[in-house]
Amino acid sequence: MAARIRNETWKDNEALKFKIEEYILQGLQRNEIISYLKRDFEEYSWTPRTLKRRMNHFNIERNDPSVSIEDVKEAVESEMRGPGSLLGYRAFHLKIRQEYGLKVKRDLVYAAMVDVDYESVKRRQPRRGEKKQKQEFQSCGPNWLF
């Protein structure tokens, strides 16, 4: 058991680095990434803290601040031309992460969607505050039976 705790071979493991990057681009959460890594790399100990430490060692980040807004807008424009125009901003964010490999925050994708096509984004928003019209109710009277 002691060999497993002090196993330092992960620092030179390129397959491990590739898998962590792949799982992050897929949009998986930390617990999901850990469960996949436990399956794929049984020889290493996996906790949220070790995952974070290994991501720091490999210089892997969930969001890349160096991605320019123009790159995001280009990706949004190309997806808006196709069937991606029907997606909401959360699914759109996941699609941009997976297909274009852009590690950006969800609010940046939403802002780019609003800049590119405000009307379609507004159309997809839920209509909070708008009430349904009241319907007319008809009654045959207090003494009416089937």
Q: Is the confidence at residue 1, as pLDDT, over 60?
A: no
Asked whether residue 19 is assigned to any structural domain, the reply reads: yes
| Angle, vertex CA 19, rays to CA 17 and CA 20, nearest 5 | 65
Residues 79 and 53 in one domain: no
Residues 88 and 110 in one domain: yes
pLDDT at 134: 83
Asked whether residue 131 is assigned to any structural domain, the reply reads: no
Asked whether residue 144 is assigned to any structural domain, the reply reads: no
pLDDT at 128: 67
**Nearest CA-CA partner of 48 in 31, 26, 36, 61:** 31
Token output for 43? 């020889």
Residues 53 and 78 in one domain: no
Q: DSSP secondary structure string, 34-86? A: HHHHHHH-TTS---HHHHHHHHHHTT--SS-TTS-HHHHHHHHHHHHTTGGGG
pTM over 0.85: no
Residue ranges making up the domain that contains 80: 69-124
Q: For residues 28-54, give the mean pLDDT.
A: 93
- Share the mean pLDDT of the chain: 86
Q: Are 117 and 80 in contact (CB under 8 A)?
A: yes
pLDDT at 5: 61
Q: How many domains does the chain have?
A: 2
Asked whether residue 100 is assigned to any structural domain, the reply reads: yes
Asked whether residue 137 is assigned to any structural domain, the reply reads: no
